[in-house]
Structure 1
């Protein structure tokens, strides 16, 4: 089975306080062989980028309404008259609040949904092929 990767580079804002944020280059990645997950790599030009992986459904829903819990929470809002999506990421190493422009995130998500439509993810995992190979032995 051929695998497809859908990537998008964009600039996120790391929110440091209500009045201050800093731009953070990021790469959104989606792979059809890992159909339930999205990956966001931060500081993509650095030697050691930081990558977060979480459910694609969480980001899809978060563009429209607050969702998530625990380590990843996502919700839509307005900032400076623009539609943005906020992502609150928590880890033992610290917390981050990131803001991304909804139009770019939505366009990228649409490409991922055309690559592997919702509900079709299970068929992309290759479990049937792996089971057939295992049983053929």
Structure 2
């Protein structure tokens, strides 16, 4: 089983101005952080010209394919049978993208083959995580 899963996807950036446009993004999953998924967006879509990365619960993504999920910074909801909307909330506003639901399902299937649901604790490196959090304390 691969310890890292990257999957390129096309997302449709939903803008308030007419004419949403499609941009590339990459979904990431790492077995060492089995509860999280990440999505990276290219610098050209950010206001400051930097690549944008978001991390959120794998379970949130899975739930959001079936029904609206999330109440925090990241929210996921189906948009018909073929698209899923990801919402990213920050102080300055909300960024929304549409992703093909089949792409998200394929990505999630790969992550669950790497680390099955309910087995995440077996792959977590708690000692390293604590060391990183505590630093030199």
Q: Residues of 2 paired with 1:64 and 1:119: CA distance?
A: 19
Give, in angstroms, the shift of residue 53 of structure 1: 0.4
Q: Is the CA contact (8 Å cut-off) linking 2:10 and 2:99 kept in structure 1?
A: yes
- TM-score, length of structure 2 as denominator length: 0.81
TM-score by length of 1: 0.81
Deviation at 1:92, TM superposition (A): 2.3
Q: Which runs of 5+ in 2 are unaligned?
A: 130-137
Structure 1 unmatched runs, 5+: 131-137
Q: Distance in 2 between matches of 1:124 and 1:112?
A: 13
Q: Distance in 2 between matches of 1:129 and 1:76?
A: 36
Contact 1:13 1:21 in 2 (8 A): yes
Equivalent residues of 2:2, 2:114 under 8 A apart? no
Cα distance in 1 between the residues matched to 2:7 and 2:44: 14
Three-state SS of the structure 2 residue aligned to 1:68 is coil
C-alpha distance in structure 2 between counterparts of 1:107 and 1:119, whole Å:
19
Q: Distance in 2 between matches of 1:85 and 1:64?
A: 9
Give the alignment of 1:22-37 within 5 angstroms: 22-37=21-36
What is the rounded CA distance, in whole Å, between the counterparts of 1:100 and 1:18 in structure 2?
19
How many angstroms does 1:51 deviate by? 0.1
Q: Which runs of 4+ in 1 moved over 4 A?
A: 44-47
Q: RMSD of the TM alignment (CA)?
A: 2.7
Q: Which residue of 1 aligns with 2:78?
A: 76
Paired residue total = 127
If each structure's strand is expressed as a fraction of its own residues, which one has the higher value? 1
Specify whether residues 18 and 76 from structure 1 end up closer, same or farther in structure 2 by C-alpha distance, changes over 3 A only: farther
Aligned partners of 2:5 and 2:127: how far apart in 1?
24
Given that residues 25 and 44 in structure 1 are in contact (C-alpha distance below 8 angstroms), is that contact kept between their aligned partners in structure 2?
no
Residues in 2 aligned to 1:45 and 1:16: alpha-carbon distance in whole angstroms: 14
